[in-house]
Chains A and B, each alone.
Chain A
């Protein structure tokens, strides 16, 4: 990874480092040369790490008071809210923490889409990131089942029933997932076990994600390859750590705003009604962060088709590095793609909105249009635009626009051409 050799100053440090080079790793992480033009969209990696740690710490505390049994789970969560010292705080941090985690991950993903961070040589970073995202969805879904309210129960029923769409073996798979003939106590038990496990799997993937990142180094807003270390880079510490810390503080203020002022606004009030297998709530909706996929699922009038399309919406992202034919990474220099990028953002937001609305009338039409556009963006727009688009000239280095005194990089290149 790092090109330079590191020798600890103290004798004890050297002794230890020769046996386990942890200090070398530490030095690599502090000195790690980072592009000096990273903007605030790059601070979400650090924020995501914070979110994961927060979920693990608050989750372990909740697990000390929570009882994973169909007859006791709901009461135990109320017990956490009313009796356990600061239980309300810890639970609200955990439940809102899940939402904040997804907010951060969506910004992080769209950052990668805009600046072409998924492209060569960073495909593996991108794919590991998507695996983390998949596990996050699984963790959050199972976590939402644990309080055993009406939304927990019916959310679990609807999502596990997605697997019953698989031809031939579908029903056996759902029964196997449930450990019963419906969502029941065995289901709750195993979901708790897996909900506890998955965050630690995510932690392992985060290590791989960062390892893979440190091989080519960070992408940056102009998206060009840079020499490392060079005039274009700064050491990670203190330059990036302080920027990350500031962004994290702002993020925490928003987070605290939810926790202390509107702790239930992102949840659903039906989940304060104990699970009842005889009555389905009138409007079942998943948590907000799953709504776009829910809209895609409902936009298809066929069961298997809807399920396939919903999963494809996620899996298509895995082949994105190979669907994008453009040689230029950053959308800053891609005038056409840039517009399609924003259309995609609006499309996904709209899908999220109609996912929360009843699947009828105008909402159904919008869901269908949105779904078609979503796939068109990746299957048609990405390859075709990348091929046809005339990109703006890109600078030779990050420093160039600064040193030539011209802010607009494309102009900088014209100046250069004259030289």
Chain B
């Protein structure tokens, strides 16, 4: 009797052990198949872009391509900055101070991804109810600071990692 029981236990162990090894093996094969779809080294290598900003007049903006996405660089006028800072944070769906969206001492430069946080369209400048951007795809309105005010977009337009290389050059990424 006890001999038989022992045999069953041994078989159970073998089953469990082979299932486990099998599962690990399958996982080890599947992961490369999944991960190959992530951005490759060539894509990752495009990670930074330098932009010359010396020719942008106050109140004007340019759009550059960074990692396949548009980036808006806007040189804001003092009035625009004042307007952005006068907004009551309680009125914002995604509350964030304008100061947190720019580099200290470089308040006139708004550098942000020109990508609507709803489904990724490029918003149009100087449009919409808040004097900022308007996304034509499903009607999201952004203010002068690129913060979402109205529409289906859940968050403010994203601020990418960037730095001032010197007074005339911004490095994005």
Interface residues of B in 56-85 (CB under 8 A from A): 63, 65, 67-70
Asked if A184 lies at the interface with its beta carbon under 8 angstroms from chain B, I say yes
Whether B68 lies near A278 (C-beta < 8 A) is no
Name the residue of chain A whose CB is nearest to the CB of B173: A181
Task: For A158, give its contact among B68, B69, B137 (CB under 8 Å).
Answer: B137
C-alpha spacing A175/B37, complex, angstroms: 9
Q: Knowing A277-B65, A303-B152 touch, does A180 contact B120 (C-beta < 8 A)? A: no
- B residues near A304, Cβ cutoff 8 Å: 154
Asked if A302 lies at the interface with its beta carbon under 8 angstroms from chain B, I say yes
Whether B39 lies near A284 (C-beta < 8 A) is no
Q: Knowing A282-B136, A303-B154 touch, does A181 contact B119 (C-beta < 8 A)? A: no
Task: For A186, give its contact among B34, B39, B63, B67 (CB under 8 Å).
Answer: B39
Whether B68 lies near A360 (C-beta < 8 A) is no
What's the minimum C-beta distance from B157 to chain A, rounded to whole angstroms?
A: 14
Interface residues of B in 85-133 (CB under 8 A from A): 118-122
Whether A303 lies near B122 (C-beta < 8 A) is no
- B residues near A186, Cβ cutoff 8 Å: 39-40, 43
Asked if A179 lies at the interface with its beta carbon under 8 angstroms from chain B, I say yes
C-alpha spacing A301/B136, complex, angstroms: 15
Asked if B139 lies at the interface with its beta carbon under 8 angstroms from chain A, I say yes
What's the minimum C-beta distance from B122 to chain A, rounded to whole angstroms?
A: 5
Whether B119 lies near A157 (C-beta < 8 A) is yes
What's the minimum C-beta distance from B125 to chain A, rounded to whole angstroms?
A: 12
Whether A280 lies near B138 (C-beta < 8 A) is no
What's the minimum C-beta distance from B112 to chain A, rounded to whole angstroms?
A: 15
Task: For B38, give its contact among A164, A176, A278 (CB under 8 Å).
Answer: A176
Whether B68 lies near A180 (C-beta < 8 A) is yes
- A residues near B39, Cβ cutoff 8 Å: 175, 178-181, 186
C-alpha spacing A300/B118, complex, angstroms: 12
Asked if B153 lies at the interface with its beta carbon under 8 angstroms from chain A, I say yes
Whether A179 lies near B139 (C-beta < 8 A) is no
Name the residue of chain B whose CB is nearest to the CB of A182: B68
Q: How large is the interface on A (under 10, 10 to 19, 20 to 34, 35 or more residues)?
A: 35 or more
Residue with the greatest number of chain B CB neighbours at <10 A, chosen from A154, A178, A280, A301: A280
C-alpha spacing A403/B62, complex, angstroms: 80
- A residues near B120, Cβ cutoff 8 Å: 157-158, 160-161, 164, 182
Please classify the interface of chain B as helix (H, G, I), strand (E, B), loop, or mixed, using the class held by over half of its residues: loop
- B residues near A181, Cβ cutoff 8 Å: 39, 43, 67-69
Whether B119 lies near A175 (C-beta < 8 A) is no
Name the residue of chain A whose CB is nearest to the CB of B154: A303
Whether B38 lies near A359 (C-beta < 8 A) is no
C-alpha spacing A181/B39, complex, angstroms: 7
Whether A183 lies near B119 (C-beta < 8 A) is no
C-alpha spacing A396/B151, complex, angstroms: 57
- B residues near A182, Cβ cutoff 8 Å: 67-69, 120
Residue with the greatest number of chain A CB neighbours at <10 A, chosen from B68, B70, B119, B154: B119
Interface string of A264-289 (1 = CB under 8 A from B): 00000000000001111011100000
Task: For A179, give its contact among B37, B119, B138, B154 (CB under 8 Å).
Answer: B37
Task: For A277, give its contact among B70, B137, B151, B153 (CB under 8 Å).
Answer: B70
Whether A278 lies near B43 (C-beta < 8 A) is no
C-alpha spacing A175/B40, complex, angstroms: 11
C-alpha spacing A179/B37, complex, angstroms: 5
Q: Knowing A278-B63, A279-B122, A280-B137 touch, does A183 contact B68 (C-beta < 8 A)? A: yes
Asked if A290 lies at the interface with its beta carbon under 8 angstroms from chain B, I say no
Name the residue of chain B whose CB is nearest to the CB of A358: B139
Name the residue of chain A whose CB is nearest to the CB of B137: A284
Name the residue of chain A whose CB is nearest to the CB of B70: A278
What's the minimum C-beta distance from A280 to chain B, rounded to whole angstroms?
A: 4
29 A/B residue pairs, CB under 8 Å, sorted by A: A154-B121, A157-B120, A158-B121, A160-B120, A161-B119, A164-B120, A176-B34, A176-B38, A178-B39, A179-B37, A179-B38, A182-B67, A182-B69, A182-B120, A183-B68, A186-B40, A190-B37, A277-B68, A277-B70, A278-B63, A278-B65, A279-B122, A280-B136, A284-B136, A298-B138, A301-B151, A302-B154, A358-B139, A359-B139
Give B contacts to A, CB under 8 Å. Answer: 34, 37-40, 43, 63, 65, 67-70, 118-122, 135-139, 151-154
Given contacts A179-B37, A186-B43, 7 further A-B contacts (CB under 8 A): A179-B40, A277-B70, A280-B122, A280-B135, A302-B152, A359-B138, A360-B139
